[in-house]
């Protein structure tokens, strides 16, 4: 039975199953081991003991290299508005049509045991079990990201995780990277506003961030970005509240999601599209393949198309949430990736990490199983548990006919030609325009600019002087008072005074 269906029988505690070894042999007492006499050595023949120990020894699988801490639940998506002018995507082709889904929310940088309320972007993933395959949204709760060149991702992530020598989180590494890669400024503005500490997973929005293409069977397409807005309204913690929650209940978001669903108080999100035709995209003020930029909603309004609700908790966290495997490359007819280089590399990275984390047959794990999949050319491998396509030929055989559906990729408009180059987009003044706009928006919400300054100061104060100085300069480019305000809030609380700067600045950088 696939995990996208409700289990036929949930836990039936009234039944008394016969306890056995893993090969089904009944065992009298699970807590006694075979031995010679009362105090004698153990017997190698005790399969029950060895079975138990050996399985225990192998219980852990690698945690996700990022987004390790998360929580999830099942639900249902419903189309609310007709968008057949944009796409032939099966799941979206009829108002009222419903599709089952599973969602997982996560923090990014912390390990599996880290606090849910940490200052961090949040992952926002949803897998839809459509009639034409699984379509995954692997989104964040911010509409932009720290970088626009994918080769920077592993480098960037290293600086947000632990120092290789001290094994501690390291403010100097953290800001050293951000202040020398200032295309990150926009995301930094989000992260250090109170938006960086959501109140719960239920109270945050999700954004595709990347541009995708919605396509039609004639090969035409439009560029889109997807927004999911929580129907509960966005709600955040202050820095102090988030810190207090981390101390009191590190699993607060996990607990909140599980308990509210268990109580029948189901969270839901309304889904919108921003749409640009290829021609509009050409003359658009912002590069639509630059993940550090939003499409301002005044220029590209939101168009509603659906809603999803989460209404069922997993029966088993490891089986259904730890083993769920999302990928931006899990697509279906009617949607395609854009040329955004970060998206393009993510298309590779996720299935690659799943093969490492879960094994080559990760799509056979029940929570990942599509409603129907038939690919007898993919055979064998570790944990081939779906019958391995039985006697079906493992090559395109003249003795076994298959239907190849005519799925036409978009052909119009995008024709690429050019020499291979390895080039980053340079950081220019343009990169500070949207961060400055966000600073203005924070100014319209009472106390948010003050909180932002305090949030940065509390973190940045632990960094070395040279890094702090460079970071003030970055914030000055966003707004000329902002750098000064942050400096004034940071310096008095820093344990590494500026006077030591000359001697220490380069130490350990």
- Interaction site with ligand HEM (CB under 6 A): 64-67, 70, 104, 106, 123-125, 138-140, 145, 150, 153, 209, 325-326, 342, 345-346, 349-350, 353-354, 357
Residue closer to ligand HEM (CB basis): 312 or 357: 357
Reduced to 3 states (helix: H, G, I; strand: E, B; else coil), residue 221 is: strand
Residue closer to ligand HEM (CB basis): 67 or 227: 67
Q: Which residues, other chains included, contact 98 with Cβ-Cβ below 8 Å and sequence gap of 6+?
A: 76, 77, 78
Give the separation between CA 230 and CA 306, rounded to whole angstroms.
12
Residue closer to ligand HEM (CB basis): 124 or 221: 124
Reduced to 3 states (helix: H, G, I; strand: E, B; else coil), residue 172 is: helix
H or E element that contains 183: none
Residue 350 annotated as part of some ligand binding site: yes
First to last CA, the chain: 53
Residue closer to ligand HEM (CB basis): 65 or 407: 65
User: Shortest Cβ distance from residue 146 to ligand HEM (Å)?
Assistant: 8
Query: Closest residue to ligand HEM, Cβ-based?
Result: 123
User: Shortest Cβ distance from residue 92 to ligand HEM (Å)?
Assistant: 20
Reduced to 3 states (helix: H, G, I; strand: E, B; else coil), residue 5 is: coil
Distance set, CA 217 to CA 73, 129, 136, 439 (Å): 33, 21, 21, 43
Determine which one of 4, 134, 140, 368 is catalytic.
140
Q: Fill in the DSSP letter of residue 151.
A: T
User: Shortest Cβ distance from residue 163 to ligand HEM (Å)?
Assistant: 21
User: Shortest Cβ distance from residue 227 to ligand HEM (Å)?
Assistant: 12
Determine which one of 4, 48, 67, 203 is catalytic.
67
Q: How is residue 21 written in tokens? A: 């070894």
User: Shortest Cβ distance from residue 108 to ligand HEM (Å)?
Assistant: 7
Residue whose structure tokens are 């990022």 = 66
The crossing angle, in degrees rounded to 10, of helices 171-180 and 152-160 is 150
Residue closer to ligand HEM (CB basis): 123 or 370: 123
Long-range contacts of 242-249 (CB under 8 A, 24+ apart): 242/117, 242/118, 242/119, 242/197, 243/117, 245/115, 245/116, 245/117, 246/115, 246/116, 246/117, 246/118
Is 67 in the active site?
A: yes
Active site residues: 67, 140
What are the binding residues?
A: 350
What are the binding residues for heme?
A: 350
């Amino acid at each position: 039975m696939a995990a996208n269906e409700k289990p036929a029988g949930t836990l039936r505690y009234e039944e008394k199953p016969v306890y056995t070894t893993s090969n089904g042999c009944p065992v009298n007492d699970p807590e006694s081991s075979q031995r010679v006499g009362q105090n004698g050595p153990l017997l190698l023949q005790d399969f029950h003991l060895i079975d138990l120990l050996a399985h225990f020894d192998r219980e852990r699988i690698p945690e996700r290299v990022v987004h390790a801490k998360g929580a999830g639940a099942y639900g249902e998506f419903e189309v609310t508005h007709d968008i057949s002018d944009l796409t032939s995507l099966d799941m979206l082709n009829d108002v009222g049509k419903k599709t089952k889904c599973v969602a997982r929310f996560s923090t990014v940088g912390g390990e599996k045991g880290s606090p849910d309320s940490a200052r961090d972007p949040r992952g926002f993933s949803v897998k839809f079990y459509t009639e034409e395959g699984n379509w995954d949204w692997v989104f964040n709760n911010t509409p932009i990201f720290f970088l626009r060149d994918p080769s920077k991702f592993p480098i960037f992530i290293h600086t947000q995780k632990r120092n290789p020598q001290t094994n501690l989180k390291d403010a100097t590494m953290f800001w050293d990277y951000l202040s020398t890669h200032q295309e990150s400024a926009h995301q930094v503005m989000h992260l250090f506003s109170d938006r960086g500490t959501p109140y719960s997973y239920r109270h945050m929005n999700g954004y595709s961030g990347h541009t995708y293409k919605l396509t039609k069977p004639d090969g035409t397409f439009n560029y889109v970005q997807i927004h999911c807005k929580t129907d509960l309204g966005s709600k955040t913690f202050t820095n102090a509240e988030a810190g207090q929650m981390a101390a009191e209940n590190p699993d607060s978001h996990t607990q909140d999601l599980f308990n509210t669903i268990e109580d029948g108080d189901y969270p839901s999100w309304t889904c919108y599209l921003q749409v640009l035709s290829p021609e509009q995209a050409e003359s658009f003020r912002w590069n639509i393949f630059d993940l550090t930029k939003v499409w301002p909603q005044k220029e590209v309004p939101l168009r509603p198309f659906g809603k999803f609700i989460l209404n069922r908790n997993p029966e088993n966290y490891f089986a259904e949430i730890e083993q769920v495997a999302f990928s931006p490359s899990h697509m279906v007819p009617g949607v395609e990736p854009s040329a955004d280089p970060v998206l393009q590399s993510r298309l590779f990275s996720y299935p690659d990490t799943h093969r490492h984390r879960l094994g080559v047959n990760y799509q056979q794990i029940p929570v990942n199983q599509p409603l129907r999949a038939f690919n007898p050319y993919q055979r064998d491998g570790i944990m081939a548990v779906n019958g391995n396509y039985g006697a079906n030929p493992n090559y395109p055989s003249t003795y076994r006919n298959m239907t190849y559906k005519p799925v036409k990729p978009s052909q119009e408009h995008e024709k690429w030609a050019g020499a291979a180059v390895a080039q980053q987009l340079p950081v220019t003044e343009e990169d500070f325009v949207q961060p400055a706009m966000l600073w203005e928006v924070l100014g319209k919400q009472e106390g948010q600019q003050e909180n932002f300054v305090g949030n940065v100061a509390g973190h940045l104060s632990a960094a070395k002087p040279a890094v702090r100085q460079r970071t003030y300069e970055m914030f000055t480019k966003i707004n000329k008072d902002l750098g000064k305000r942050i400096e004034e809030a940071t310096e008095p609380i820093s344990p590494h005074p500026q006077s030591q700067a000359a001697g220490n600045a380069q130490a350990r950088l």
